[in-house]
Amino acid sequence: MWAPDIYEGSPTPVTAFLSIAPKISISANISRVSIYGSYGATLQQIFFFCSIASMILGALAAMAQTKVKRPLAHSSIGHVGYIRTGFSCGTIEGIQSLLIGIFIYALMTIDAFAIVSALRQTRVKYIADLGALAKTNPISAITFSITMFSYAGIPPLAGFCSKFYLFFAALGCGAYFLAPVGVVTSVIGCWAAGRLPRVSKFGGPKAVLRAPDT
């Protein structure tokens, strides 16, 4: 997969742009197709399959990552699946949930990458490097924790509301298999996304922030 490597190797502002702009553009264009046109049952099944594949891949792949940006990349892959659920339904409720989902996702992503960008002076690269963040910058640690818990979809945060509307729209259009898969991958994502705030709040055996080189 190219996304984690691009996220890791690109400057943080560029990574944030690549994480948000393509999803907004694609979602807007496909939403127009859903509103002004229609697609058959075969294409809808393809959309459903792609949504499930993205959600599963994003949740499972994020579990094995050790660098800060790479879990964000896999979370982005998973959120593509969640957002795709909205236009897969082909209903007004699905489009409404898609718009809510993409708006909340954009806000969460901007917040997460703003914090990562602010921490670049301390050479934070690995998840273990976040261990001392609660002591050196508690405001950033709390903000980052709330953002990642929202990514994971923990109530009552905005990420939970986003997924609730998307899954509710999926059930409304008869996608009874898609919604449970989304719930399961969200639970898996809670562990993966929760590692970052857990380390930043409580630290670990390698919880030392490296000073910038002089």
Residue type (1 letter), 17: F
What tokens appear for 186 in the block?
Answer: 């969200």
Nearest alpha-carbon partner for 103 in 115, 92, 114, 95? 95
What would you measure as the largest C-alpha separation in the chain, in angstroms? Answer: 61
Q: Give 24's contacts (C-beta < 8 A, 6+ positions apart).
A: 102, 106
- 66-77 per-position pLDDT tens digit: 777 788 888 888
Cα–Cα distances (Å) from 96 to 35, 76, 172, in that order, read: 11, 20, 13
Classified as helix, coil or strand, 44 is helix
Residue type (1 letter), 190: C
d(CA 171, CA 161): 15
Positive or negative, the CA dihedral 155, 157, 160, 165 is positive
Tell me what pLDDT residue 119 has: 75
- Helices 178-202 and 69-89 pack at an angle, to 10 degrees, of 160
Tell me what pLDDT residue 121 has: 63
Tell me what pLDDT residue 47 has: 83
Q: Which helix (H) or strand (E) covers residue 98, if one does? A: helix 92-118
Asked if 125 and 184 touch (Cβ cutoff 8 Å), the reply is no
For residue 148, count CB atoms less than 10 angstroms from its CB and return exposed for 0-12, middle for 13-18, buried for 19 or more. Answer: buried
- 20-51 per-position pLDDT tens digit: 888 888 877 777 776 665 666 777 788 889 88
d(CA 107, CA 125): 22
d(CA 88, CA 86): 5
Tell me what pLDDT residue 50 has: 87
- Mark the ranges of the chain whose per-residue pLDDT is less than 70: 1-2, 34-40, 120-124, 129, 131-132, 193-214
